[in-house]
Amino acid sequence: MKNIFTCLLAAFLTQSIIAQPYNIVIKGGHVIDPKNSIDAVMDIGIRDGKIAIVNKNVDTIGALQVVNARGMIVTPGLIDIHSHNFTGTEENHYLSNGFSALAPDGFTFRVGVTTVVDAGGAGWKSFSLFKKNIIDHSQTRVLSMLNIVGEGMRGSPYEQDTRGMDGKMTSLVAKANPAYVVGVKVAHFEGSEWTPVDRAVEAGTLAKIPVMIDFGSSNPPLSLEELLMKHLRPGDIFTHCFGQVRGRETIVDTATGKVKQYVKDARQKGVIFDVGYGGISFAYSQALPALRDGFYPNSISTDIHTGSMNNAMKDILSVMSKFLNMGMPLPEVIKASTWSPAQIIQKPELGNLSPGSEADIAVFSMHSGRFGFYDYTGVKTVGEKKLECEMTLRAGRIVYDLNGIATPVYPIQVR
Ligand SMILES: [Zn+2]
């Protein structure tokens, strides 16, 4: 008898230890976690800033907050790999310590974004200032693609001076900051030589990171086929992939409405096609035929700055909603905004809901109705679906809750 009692007591104690309460439980949402092939109604338990469990029924006993996500979509926190965040107050500094870039926390959490990659705001000379002013003061996880221009994205004449493009120095700063530097950026070059691309690829090869190319400003134009097939490596990123501006070759042949064969070959080779929506870098005249041809972007990103966010682009959910309404399935849209970008920037610990991962999570409502979507050329479409962010968690903490779906709304403070 005594033995049975001891056994029961031991079992009870073991159970109590195992059944430690979760800090937050998200109940009843439709979880889409492409890395783990989850696309079903699930609960998520969060403990100590990490995902503890994803399961059909997670116990809420003892939880500090319970989130009612019934009827909502729950995904890993979004990763925007083309963003402009090096905000500052220097005159004539454009997106490098200038007035056109955005402080991350002001626009990320309200749309489900938990990680941004600043695409070339800082170069090797200005990265330490970017880290001090922006990375270290943001709750959003801020990463960087170093501009091949040492001064970063300061505009002309700096971005035209090939003497300021140093592959070796760029790679050294990247290698000294592996937690933050995830790539090398080329943009806005108007000369007709390959120097910026090749120096960036040199830096990327030395630091073992991808390059991201904003292509098409050269006069006379450089060949897109040569860029994709000869200069870029597998894993390198062609951003603004649905752009259609004068002087820039397009991925869709406008005569046939089909994606060019060499573009398909480049994808086969491993080149990444990123949206990088921006001010004038997304046109329905390219995106609609490309999607009809089955050519989805690898990653959905915004190229957000003070110009694009108040124009056709708006925010990442507006861009994702455009792709949904063009026929890209929701799980694909979520994958292109979470797990795919995590892999592209070589941070496979991000963009997923695996137990043990940092609990960066987004909760969305999908609204039905008639919504207008337009591009910078004035082409307008009407869509029936639109995503809205209900809640964002960063490292296991609720950092945005639109309608108060957490109970209690604020965790009771234990002092
Ligand atoms: Zn950009």
Cα–ligand 1 centroid distance for 276 (angstroms): 7
Q: How far away, in angstroms, is 274 Cα from ligand 1 center?
A: 11
Cα 308 to averaged position of ligand 1 atoms, centre (Å) = 10
CA dist list (Å): 216 to 2, 165, 193, 220: 82, 18, 12, 10
Rounded Cα distance between 191 and 136, Å, is 36
User: Distance, CA 4 to ligand 1 centroid (Å)?
Assistant: 68
For the chain, which ranges sit under pLDDT 50? 1, 13-17
Q: How far is the CA of 275 from the centre of ligand 1 (A)?
A: 11
Spatial CA neighbour of 26 closest among 57, 56, 68, 61: 68
Determine the distance separating the centroid of ligand 1 and the alpha carbon of 406, expressed in angstroms: 35
Q: Which of 245, 239, 210, 197 is nearest to 347 (CA)?
A: 210
- Quote the ligand 1 centre to 67 CA distance (angstroms): 36
Q: Tell me which fold the domain 77-344 belongs to.
A: TIM Barrel (3.20.20)
Name the residue type at position 385: K
CA of residue 46 to ligand 1 center, whole Å: 35
185 alpha carbon – ligand 1 mean position (Å): 9
What is the residue whose two structure tokens read 């972007």?
297
Report the candidate in 387, 385, 340 with the shortest Cα–Cα distance to residue 33: 340
Ligand 1 center from residue 49 Cα (angstroms): 32
Does this model's pTM top 0.75? yes
DSSP secondary structure, 256-280, as one string: TTEE-HHHHHHHHHT-EEB---TTT
CB 373 within 8 A of CB 381: yes
Residue 10 has a pLDDT of: 53
pLDDT tens sequence across 327-351: 999 999 999 999 999 999 999 999 9
Q: What is the pLDDT of residue 205?
A: 98
99 and 303 Cβ atoms separated by less than 8 Å: no
Distance 209 CA to ligand 1 centre (A): 18
Euclidean distance between CA atoms 222 and 166, whole angstroms: 21
Contact 121, 153 (CB under 8 A): yes
Question: Ligand 1 center to residue 303 CA distance, Å?
Answer: 5
d(CA 149, CA 186): 8
Task: Give me ligand 1 centre to Cα 154, in Å.
Answer: 12
DSSP line for 6-18: HHHHHHHHHHHHH
End-to-end CA gap in the chain: 44
User: Residue 49: its pLDDT value, please?
Assistant: 98
Please report the pLDDT score of residue 300 as a whole number. 98
The Cα–Cα gap between 114 and 410 comes to 20
DSSP code at position 164: G
- How far is the centre of ligand 1, averaged over its atoms, from the C-alpha of 69 (Å)? 34
Say if CB 170 and CB 125 are below 8 A apart: no
Distance in Å, CA 215 to ligand 1 centroid: 11
- Side chain identity at residue 396, one-letter code: G
What the block records as the tokens of 311 is: 């124009």
Q: Where are the domains of the chain?
A: 77-344
Give distance in angstroms: CA of 272 to centre of ligand 1: 16
Six token digits for residue 120: 């070339």
Q: What is the rounded distance in angstroms from the CA atom of residue 143 to the CA atom of residue 28?
A: 32
pLDDT of residue 156: 86
Residue 153 CA, ligand 1 centroid: distance in Å: 9
- Calculate how far, in angstroms, residue 84's C-alpha sits from the geometric centre of ligand 1: 7
